[in-house]
Amino acid sequence: MNAATVVFQDVSKFYGEVLGVNRVTLNIPPGITSLVGPNGSGKTTLMNLMTGLIHPDRGSISLRGISPRDPERLMRITGYATQYDSAPRWATGFSFITTGLLLFGFGRAEAEQRAWKALERLGLTEAAQRKVAAYSKGMRQRVRLAQAIAHEPEVLVLDEPLNGLDPLIRAETIALFREWAAQDRHVIISSHVLQEVDVISDQVVLIANGMIVAEGEIRNVREEIHERPSQFIVRCRDASQVASVLFNEDHISEVRLNDDGSGLLVMTRNREQFSRLLGRIALNGHRIDGVIPADENVDALYEYLIGGDR
Amino acid sequence: MAVYRRGYHRYQGPIVGHWARFMVLPRFAWRRLFQQRLVVLLTVVAMIWPLLCAGFIYLANHADLLTGLDREFREFVSVNGRFFLIFMYVQGSFAIFLAALTGPGLIAPDLANNALQLYFSRPLTRSDYALARLLVLFGMLSAITWIPGLLLFGMQVGMSGGWWFLANWTLGAGIVAGFAFWVLLVSLVALTCSAWVKWRVVAGALVLAFFSLLSGVSLMINEVFRVTWGHVLNPAWAANQLWCLMLGVGPVAGPGAVECALSLAVIIFVLASLLARRLRPVEVIS
């Protein structure tokens, strides 16, 4: 087991008789990991467990070798931004972050320097001396993020971090996550916006009813779902002829022609055979411009594995 | 699988000690509290009685100023256990009002803003947080209780000399211990009200109601059942009984100091449990 991973070993948490999470075993490597699941599925419980805000009824958790029961060490490597407002309304953005850093044990000069840096990264320097009460929803979201990154943690745990951000700031924030993750650090986020999860995640953890439904890289998870045919979009000029070839194969369950006649949506039960078939089709003189997997995304995984309301 | 490059370095610089970090919360709270005019005003008003008491001590130690006055009055002007008991009673009452004014704003806003998660996402435990909040009140109330009490005691020692100290050092210890117990109780009442009641005004009223209602209930029990043990339910009465013991003043008729101490310990335990129950970083579904 790599020391630089986040590990859940057979973790269960019950709130009285209400299930939080049940028998969760996870091994999250560095990078951007998204926790995906419907409301009440246990995403926030998982985040609270890994930050030591609650403790499991059974099982063990380790963040890069540190137990959440050791907040003194854990919180030095962990940054947490909750989904709720948590900044006192009387504080300015700058004093809010500085106070947090003082609680971490930084000296005042160091804390102030880091607070500015964090505010700068989130584009909040102009509003730094304004009271948080006067911030817009998006600015409050950013100040929450700023307090989470200000001490340069190795594990960033963010509950719905993209909510309320405008498209430009959203793109900058995603870039920040990527930069963070590229440095061998963990960025663990929960999000309801599946398209975004799809774009930014190195791996996903799908959770429903307190249990892990799937985990891993999106493509690997998709490959494990054998009962659902894989979908591919094939771009080609003679789509109808290609379709007729495809129909003769047993593993092809459905082919749909695009309205413009230059593409197909193909559903296959065997990805390898489909891949070989495409090679043969190309060798037979049909020009294939591109093949794109249509359901190797979180949206599809969610529908296949969890379904229902999001 | 992505290839990651370890491009960051853990902070290796100096970190201040646990107590310095712990004191961040009280420091900020004190600064904010003393920005409120009412708090400053009440603190100043609470200093009037100690000043009068200081004048009394001065008078008691200058017999020449009392010549020509009535003998009974001259006997009345003496610094003893009863003098400090009256001092404590008045300052103890001020402590309740100051706690009712300042206590409600300490925890309720954190709960309303979901800030507990934020605090506990720092190297700060639940007990650290509770102690830090308790320290805010303990510090504020100390300024009007045992600190002026000890100063008055010191003034008396300074004017009467070492022999007086040797004969009456228990008064000094009694002032500090008696007030410390009282301040702890009052602070816990205020913090518990702050943790359970969202609205400051209501929480403040509840602090006052806690003492007056229990006093009323204890009197009612005594009247209805024709007993005296009902007094143990009145924290102010029970504390007064303890103070009498500590200052060597004859106790008031009713339950003894042991029963009163036990009663106060139970109240403190219940308050601390109620507080701990509320100080949870996450909402627990039941």
Would you state the pLDDT for residue B7? 66
What does each C-alpha distance from B144 to A32, B91, B99 come to in angstroms?
54, 7, 11
Of B11, B17, B123, the CB nearest to A75: B123
- CA B55 – CA B230 distance, rounded (Å): 38
Helix (H), strand (E), coil (C) string for A136-202: CHHHHHHHHHHHHHCCCCCEEEEECCCCCCCHHHHHHHHHHHHHHHCCCCEEEEECCCHHHHHHHCC
pLDDT of B260 over the 50 cut: yes
- CA A25 – CA A61 distance, rounded (Å): 9
Interchain pair A71, B124: CB under 8 A: yes
- CA A107 – CA A269 distance, rounded (Å): 61
- CA B277 – CA B273 distance, rounded (Å): 6
Interchain pair A16, B286: CB under 8 A: yes
pLDDT of B270 over the 50 cut: yes
Interchain pair B113, A85: CB under 8 A: yes
pLDDT of B82 over the 80 cut: yes
| Chain A CB within 8 Å of residue B126 CB | no
| Overall fold of domain A229-294 | Alpha-Beta Plaits (3.30.70)
| Chain A CB within 8 Å of residue B10 CB | yes
**Tokens, residue A116:** 């500015």
pLDDT of B284 over the 70 cut: no
* Mean residue pLDDT across chain B: 90
CB atoms within 10 A of CB B249: 18
Query: With contacts defined as CB-CB under 8 Å, which chain B residues touch A16?
Result: 284-286
**Tokens, residue A89:** 């309304």
Residue type, A162: L
| Chain A CB within 8 Å of residue B62 CB | no
Q: What is the mean pLDDT of residues B256-272?
A: 95
Of B14, B17, B123, the CB nearest to A76: B123
Over residues A252-274, the pLDDT tens digits come to: 888 888 877 778 888 888 878 88
| H-state helical runs in A203-256 | 218-224, 239-247
Query: With contacts defined as CB-CB under 8 Å, which chain B residues touch A86?
Result: 113-115, 117-118
Could you give the angle at which helices A93-104 and A137-149 cross, rounded to 10 degrees?
Answer: 20
- CA A306 – CA A139 distance, rounded (Å): 33
| Chain A CB within 8 Å of residue B162 CB | no
Query: With contacts defined as CB-CB under 8 Å, which chain A residues touch B122?
Result: 75, 100, 103-104
Residues 6+ apart with CB under 8 A from B93: none
Q: How far is B153 from chain A (nearest CA, A)?
A: 38
- CA A156 – CA A147 distance, rounded (Å): 11
The more confident residue out of A2 and B273 is: B273
Over residues B188-201, the pLDDT tens digits come to: 999 999 999 988 89
Q: Of the candidates B170, B183, B99, which has an alpha carbon nearest to the alpha carbon of residue B142?
A: B183
Q: Confirm if A206 and A197 have CB atoms less than 8 A apart.
A: no
Confidence band, pLDDT 50/70/90 cuts, at residue A83: confident
Would you state the pLDDT for residue A309? 47
The complex's ipTM works out to 0.80
pLDDT of B2 over the 60 cut: no
- CA A149 – CA A221 distance, rounded (Å): 30
Interchain pair B4, A53: CB under 8 A: no
Q: What is the mean pLDDT of residues A17-44?
A: 89
Size of interface A-B (CB pairs under 8 A): 116
Confidence band, pLDDT 50/70/90 cuts, at residue B6: low
Q: Which of A53-67, A131-145, A242-256, B217-231 comes out lowest in average pLDDT?
A: A242-256
Interchain pair B10, A154: CB under 8 A: yes
| Chain A CB within 8 Å of residue B15 CB | yes
Interchain pair B285, A79: CB under 8 A: no
Q: Confirm if B151 and B51 have CB atoms less than 8 A apart.
A: no
pLDDT of A216 over the 80 cut: yes
Q: Return the ∠ at Cα B80 (arms to B262 and B72), rounded to 5°.
A: 130
- CA B16 – CA B276 distance, rounded (Å): 27
Query: With contacts defined as CB-CB under 8 Å, which chain A residues touch B285?
Result: 15-16, 18
Over residues B134-146, the pLDDT tens digits come to: 999 999 999 999 9
Q: What is the mean pLDDT of residues A144-148?
A: 93
Domain A6-219 CATH class label: alpha beta
- CA B177 – CA B185 distance, rounded (Å): 12
Q: What is the mean pLDDT of residues A29-39?
A: 89
Interchain pair A183, B6: CB under 8 A: yes
Query: With contacts defined as CB-CB under 8 Å, which chain A residues touch B15?
Result: 104-106
Query: With contacts defined as CB-CB under 8 Å, which chain B residues touch A75?
Result: 121-124
Interchain pair A31, B4: CB under 8 A: yes
Q: Confirm if A234 and A242 have CB atoms less than 8 A apart.
A: yes
Query: With contacts defined as CB-CB under 8 Å, which chain B residues touch A50?
Result: none
pTM of the model: 0.81
In chain A, domain spans: 6-219, 229-294
- CA A301 – CA A206 distance, rounded (Å): 8
Q: What is the mean pLDDT of residues A83-111?
A: 88
**Beta strands of chain A (E only): which ranges?**
6-15, 18-28, 31-36, 58-63, 78-81, 155-159, 186-190, 203-208, 211-216, 230-236, 252-257, 263-268, 288-293
Q: Of the candidates A84, A121, A114, A85, which has an alpha carbon nearest to the alpha carbon of residue A99?
A: A114
| Chain A CB within 8 Å of residue B163 CB | no
pLDDT of A281 over the 80 cut: yes
Q: Which of B32-36, B140-144, B264-268 comes out lowest in average pLDDT?
A: B32-36
pLDDT of A275 over the 80 cut: yes
pLDDT of B220 over the 60 cut: yes
pLDDT of B218 over the 60 cut: yes
Q: Confirm if A81 and A147 have CB atoms less than 8 A apart.
A: yes
Which of B10, B15, B118, B279 would best serve as a mutation to test chain A binding (most A beta carbons within 10 A)? B118
- With tokens 């200052």, the residue in question is B247
